[in-house]
């Protein structure tokens, strides 16, 4: 329930309860006032009848006095007037409604005896004792039933309650309209603004500022939005700078790897260049002709293509490339890396194998960056095996990610260094063999992709780096379109 509706409902409830309580209290007061008025009327009439009865009894006798009472009763409507004996007469016609024991206790101290409604349910009774010489003590009993009067008073109270409820209904409609206009709509605008802020839209509230608490809240939310906008701009600038620095470090590490691979590649280029030089010399000097010359030319072309392919692969790896992600078969990347590093691995007498447990495991990655990650890990494995060995790249497909394990048979990593190897510029290699950026760059690239990298190692038994790549990609902070 919205706050305007709650406020309206609370006010209506309070007003309704107040109205009912007031109607009940007013009804009780009206009944009490009516009862007091009846008693007062009965008392005044009793005083008049007292004087009249005395005179008629003295002048015309007892029967005339009783007849006078009956005539007066007929003129009083619903007021019943009777003569009753309070002493020495048990005749039912002249027996009072109130027990004689209650009357006798009060008859000596009061000139008029009034009984409350609670003492005689359904009636308002007043007694006027009349002392006649030579007769027992008697009294004029004035009785008025209360049922009709109370019914009228209650009906009037009900009418007041109904009128009040109608007024409350009108009030509730007006309060709902005003509550919606003054509270509901501004609150809805604030909620919509908060949702826009949560979605990254820091524009100000379009509602006109008001001079109340909601207006103050709207002003503070506008201030908050402006501060968040400035903070976001600073964060975007810092993020852009961080990405640029990361790209520079990544490229620097890639160039360092290219340098090491180039050193091995230059050595391997000697064989095909010797073949090309020898065959070309033989053809040029005419030592071979005909079919042998054609065979030599084909051999020269094959070696030239081999050299060109090796150089192209190296240049592709060294190039920055676009920071765009695409579905990629991870095992194919691993095979590309193995082919690029082949000159270096052959020189170190290392063998690189790609074990594809799940055929065609695909992850959404940036090919250039992920190729660099695998390149760094495989080259680290090569450098960790000075006496040669096997490096296994194992690719496995799971429900939500692709798992890549790079395992070598090298010397392992000391336990005290396991928590430091991902720090920038930290290295366990000899001076000149590493920059200390490789693993730091690997972790940064994995985090950018929304993935993880972990390491397990035992000194003397080898090392395994475990990569987990999400199939749908992770954060797009490296995407230039962001």
286 and 139 co-located in one domain: no
pLDDT computed for residue 88 by the predictor: 62
CB atoms within 10 A of CB 372: 23
Identify whether the C-beta of residue 351 lies closer than 8 Å to the C-beta of residue 408: no
Task: Let me know if residue 64 belongs to a domain.
Answer: yes
Q: Which pLDDT score is estimated for 482?
A: 34
Q: Are 132 and 251 within one domain?
A: no
Residue matched to tokens 């692709």: 402
- Identify whether 266 is part of a domain: yes
- Judge if 292 and 432 occupy the same domain: yes
Q: Is residue 103 part of a domain?
A: yes
Length of the chain: 482
Looking at the domain assignment, is residue 191 inside a domain?
Answer: no
Tell me how far apart the alpha carbons of residues 139 and 50 are, in angstroms, rounded to a whole number.
9
Of 102, 127, 153, which residue constitutes the final position of a domain?
A: 153
What is the chain's alpha carbon radius of gyration, rounded to the nearest angstrom? Answer: 56
pLDDT interval class at 481 (50, 70, 90): very low
Instruction: Please count the other Cβ atoms lying within 10 Å of the Cβ belonging to residue 32.
Output: 12
Q: Is there a single domain that holds both residue 147 and residue 242?
A: no
Q: What crossing angle do the helices spanning 438-448 and 213-285 adopt, rounded to 10°? A: 130
What's phi and psi for 270, nearest 5 deg?
-60, -45
Give pLDDT tens digits for 284-342. 767 667 776 777 677 677 667 666 666 665 565 555 555 578 888 888 888 888 887 88
Domain contains 374 = yes
- Is 93 inside any structural domain? yes
Instruction: Kindly state whether residue 212 falls inside one of the protein's structural domains.
Output: no
Triad 445, 447, 450: Cα angle to 5°: 115
78: CATH:
3.30.450.20
**Range(s) of the domain holding residue 85:** 3-153
Same domain, 24 and 131: yes
For the stretch 7-18, pLDDT in tens is: 777 777 787 788
The three-class DSSP label of residue 326 is strand
Residue 304, in any domain of the structure: yes
> Which tops the pLDDT comparison, 146 or 58?
58
Q: Could you say which of 88, 120, 153 is where a domain stops? A: 153
Measured from the Cβ of residue 241, the count of other Cβ atoms closer than 10 Å reads 10
For residues 276 and 138, membership in a common domain is answered with: no
Cα 256–258–263 angle (5° rounding)? 100
153, 188, 219 - which closes a domain: 153
* Percent with pLDDT over 90 in the chain: 2
Split into its structural domains, the chain has a count of: 2
Where residue 444 sits, what CATH number does that domain have? 3.30.565.10
Do 241 and 148 have their domain in common?
Answer: no
Q: Are residues 313 and 457 in the same domain?
A: yes
Q: Distance (Å, rounded) from C-alpha 431 to C-alpha 297? A: 45
Tens digit of pLDDT for each residue in 385-422?
888 889 999 998 888 889 999 999 888 888 877 777 77
| Global pTM value | 0.42
């Amino acid at each position: 329930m919205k706050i305007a509706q709650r406020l309206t409902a609370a006010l209506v409830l309070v007003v309704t309860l107040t109205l009912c309580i007031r109607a009940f209290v007013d009804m009780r007061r009206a009944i009490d006032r009516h009862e007091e008025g009846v008693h007062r009327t009965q008392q005044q009439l009793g005083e008049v009848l007292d004087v009249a009865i005395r005179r008629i009894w003295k002048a015309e006798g007892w029967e005339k006095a009783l007849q006078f009472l009956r005539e007066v009763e007929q003129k009083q409507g619903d007021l019943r007037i009777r003569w009753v004996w309070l002493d020495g007469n048990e005749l039912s016609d002249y027996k009072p409604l109130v027990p004689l024991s209650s009357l006798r206790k009060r008859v000596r101290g009061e000139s008029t005896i009034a009984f409350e409604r609670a003492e005689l349910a359904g009636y308002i009774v007043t007694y006027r004792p009349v002392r006649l010489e030579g007769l027992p003590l008697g009294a004029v009993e004035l009785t008025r039933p209360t049922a009709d009067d109370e019914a009228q008073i209650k009906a009037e109270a009900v009418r007041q309650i109904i009128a009040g409820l109608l007024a409350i209904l009108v009030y509730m409609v007006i309060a709902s309209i005003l509550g919606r206009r003054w509270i509901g709509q501004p609150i809805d605008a604030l909620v919509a603004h908060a949702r826009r802020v949560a979605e990254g839209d820091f524009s100000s509230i379009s509602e006109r500022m008001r001079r109340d608490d909601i207006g103050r809240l709207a002003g503070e939310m506008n201030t908050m939005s402006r501060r968040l906008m400035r903070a976001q701009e600073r964060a975007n600038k810092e993020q852009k700078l961080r990405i640029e620095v990361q790209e520079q470090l990544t490229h620097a590490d890639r160039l360092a790897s290219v340098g090491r691979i180039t050193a091995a590649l230059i050595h391997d280029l000697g064989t095909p260049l010797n073949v090309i030089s020898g065959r070309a010399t033989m053809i040029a000097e005419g030592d071979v002709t005909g079919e042998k010359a054609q065979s030599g030319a084909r051999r020269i072309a094959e070696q030239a293509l081999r050299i060109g392919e090796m150089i192209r692969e190296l240049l592709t790896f060294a190039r920055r490339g676009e920071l765009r992600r695409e579905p990629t078969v991870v095992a194919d990347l691993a095979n590309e890396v193995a082919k690029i590093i082949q000159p270096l691995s052959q020189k170190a007498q290392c063998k690189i194998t790609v074990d594809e447990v799940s055929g065609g495991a695909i992850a959404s990655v940036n090919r250039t960056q992920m190729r660099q990650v695998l390149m760094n890990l495989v080259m680290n494995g090569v450098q960790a095996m000075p006496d040669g060995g096997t490096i296994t790249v194992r690719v496995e497909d799971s429900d939500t990610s692709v798992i890549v394990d790079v395992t070598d048979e090298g010397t392992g990593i000391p336990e005290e260094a396991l928590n430091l190897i991902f720090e920038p510029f930290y290295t366990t290699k000899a001076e000149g063999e590493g920059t200390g950026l490789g693993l730091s760059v690997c972790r940064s690239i994995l985090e950018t992709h929304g993935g993880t990298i972990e390491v397990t190692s035992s000194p003397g038994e080898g090392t395994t780096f475990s990569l987990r790549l999400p199939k749908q990609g992770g954060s797009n902070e490296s995407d230039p379109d962001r």
